[in-house]
Structure 1
Amino acid sequence: MGPVPAPDIHPITDPTDERLADYVSLTDVALRSRHEPSKGLYIAESSTVLRRALGAGHRPRSVLLSPRWLPDLVTTLASLPDDGTTVPVYVAEPDVLAAITGFHVHRGALASMHRPALASVHDLLAAARGGTGARRVAILEDIVDHTNVGAIFRSAAGLGVDAVLVTPRCADPLYRRSVRVSMGTVFQVPWTRLETWPGGLEDLRAAGFTVAALALADDAVSLDDLVAAPRERLALMLGTEGDGLSRGAVEAADLVVRIPMAGGVDSLNVAAASAVAFWATRT
């Protein structure tokens, strides 16, 4: 395919312009959590994140930016294949951008992206490692802090986790803050959402996974012990920020694992715990 056609540039002076509906009130988490998935979109913030999204094959619906970022944006969009369509580029001064989004936009372009369809658990696991199948996955149960979700994805990418599965009530990995904290690695690590919980664990067992719950329990084994007796296919299950994994999740696991701690500290933040567990079990 040839290069993408020249951007379709539209100067914006009115923050109520109806063409900008995708970008309104980006700081309202509850609103965006309902609005974005239902409309099949997500917001990519910064030119770096946009480049990574494009590199993963995602397609912009439109772009919104201040004039100073326009030259960089033109270069970024040049990586798009030509499918015969143009991407609307809305250009507005910083005060107009702030009125639209609810915050000072200082990271370059904002892009409204088409949200890709999620794969089934079976297909996601089967496609990993070049089609040889996933060997190590993470499961996020009801983690509601988007910063933690993004940080976990960044650790998963850096430490070789094959896939991430999120429960029905877990925060959206494609929410703007999750994407930003992950540095765009949410586009790098394959992920999907489980349809039922904890019933969805049966799909993992059918694929030969041992499910290990990271939790504090009397019968928990040390992470060191898990590493000493590695499983061929391992799913590491991480729980919500306050209470950790639910009782149902722990009871559904094949074993419970704890991270050895010192100094009278009983546990780590879930993002830190994930990095420790991913590093210790890396293959």
Structure 2
Amino acid sequence: MARLIEITDPADARLADYRDLRDVQLRKHLEAEHGLFLAEGEKVVRRAVEAGFAARSFLMAPRWLAGLGEVLDSTDAPCYVVSEELAEEVTGFHVHRGALASLARKPLPDLADVLAGARSILVLEDIVDHTNVGAIFRCGAAFGFDAVLLAPRCADPLYRRSIKVAMGAVFSLPWTRLPDWAEALPTLEAAGFSTLALTLAPDAEPIEQAVVGLERVALVLGSEGHGLSARWEQRAGRRVIIPMAPGVDSLNVAAAAAVACYLVSSR
């Protein structure tokens, strides 16, 4: 059972995991150094613990203790009980969902383990916005994708904002980072996947036509600004497009992922 510890001093050293959550660069350094990540909100905290991530500690206002009672009963990690005003002072924003948890990261799985048995996967190249990464994970989970692969420069799926937008899908959908960006697509094709690059290239074919009859599909998405790199776009087995009305040049990458995931899943 978690130990309930009331804290009234915002400078208390035990709250270090929760400081300055709006400072992205500081959080990246701190979380990488200590091998931790934060989950925010009752549902997301519960899903993280149920997914087997070990809790380092919890931070919550008194009114959230009952709602997360079974989660607190399952661990002996400390639960720091604070006022909502103190939580805002420490974190740098209004914690309107009331509860935060600091959890230990797990080692990333090997690529072969993530691909084993998968039929539909998402491959993300240099998507740097945490919100977009979280939304894409949520789309993949919603439409039955089996895994997500990330290029080295992609945003962290376990950053607080990514987790929040994904509503915990980052805990249930297997993922890892690609060990070799340059040879990523040939590696997937050698494993039996048809690689489909979502692009605006003039020779791209409608995605709903391209996916017919394919057994294993790797849907490849590029960065928010420039889309896929020339190397990945040219190296993909097929270039596909979501047909749109005249005068609209593109969709946000998360919106495009939602449409494309639906079309791939319906094949």
> Which bracket does the TM-score occupy, shorter chain normalised?
over 0.9
| 2:110 paired with 1:120 | yes
2: CA distance between counterparts of 1:48 and 1:38?
Answer: 27
**In the TM superposition, what are the counterparts of 1:61-100 in structure 2 within 5 Å?**
61-78=56-73, 80=74, 86-100=76-90
Contact 2:128–2:223 at 8 Å: present in 1 too? yes
Instruction: Report the residue type matching 1:206 in the other structure.
Output: A
Instruction: Report the residue type matching 1:164 in the other structure.
Output: V
Q: Secondary structure at the match of 1:71?
A: coil
Q: Deviations over 1:248-277 (max 9, x none)?
A: 211221111111111421211101111111
Structure 1 regions of 5+ residues with no counterpart? 1-5, 127-132
2: CA distance between counterparts of 1:110 and 1:224?
Answer: 41
1: CA distance between counterparts of 2:214 and 2:250?
Answer: 24
2: CA distance between counterparts of 1:47 and 1:224?
Answer: 38
Deviation (angstroms), 1:53: 1.0
**In the TM superposition, what are the counterparts of 1:171-210 in structure 2 within 5 Å?**
171-210=155-194
Q: Deviations over 1:131-160 (max 9, x none)?
A: xx1111001111111111111111111100
Contact 1:221–1:256 at 8 Å: present in 2 too? yes
For 2:229, the equivalent position in structure 1 comes to: 246
**In the TM superposition, what are the counterparts of 1:155-166 in structure 2 within 5 Å?**
155-166=139-150
Deviation (angstroms), 1:238: 0.5
Q: Secondary structure at the match of 2:170?
A: helix
Instruction: Report the residue type matching 1:243 in the other structure.
Output: H
Deviation (angstroms), 1:33: 2.0
1: CA distance between counterparts of 2:182 and 2:218?
Answer: 13
Contact 2:84–2:98 at 8 Å: present in 1 too? no
For 1:142, the equivalent position in structure 2 comes to: 126
Contact 1:198–1:252 at 8 Å: present in 2 too? no
Contact 1:122–1:203 at 8 Å: present in 2 too? no
Instruction: Report the residue type matching 2:105 in the other structure.
Output: R
2: CA distance between counterparts of 1:75 and 1:106?
Answer: 21
| 2:35 paired with 1:45 | no
Size of the aligned set, in residue pairs, is: 266
In the superposition, the TM-score normalised over structure 1's length comes to 0.90
2: CA distance between counterparts of 1:74 and 1:93?
Answer: 18
| 2:265 paired with 1:275 | no
Q: Deviations over 1:61-85 (max 9, x none)?
A: 100111111222323223x3x6xxx
Q: Secondary structure at the match of 1:100?
A: helix
Instruction: Report the residue type matching 1:27 in the other structure.
Output: R
> Which residue, out of 29, 32, 35, partners 2:24?
29
Q: Deviations over 1:197-219 (max 9, x none)?
A: 13233331221111111011122
Contact 1:47–1:76 at 8 Å: present in 2 too? no
In the superposition, the TM-score normalised over structure 2's length comes to 0.95
| 2:217 paired with 1:234 | yes
Instruction: Report the residue type matching 1:261 in the other structure.
Output: M
For 1:129, the equivalent position in structure 2 comes to: none
Q: Percent identity?
A: 54
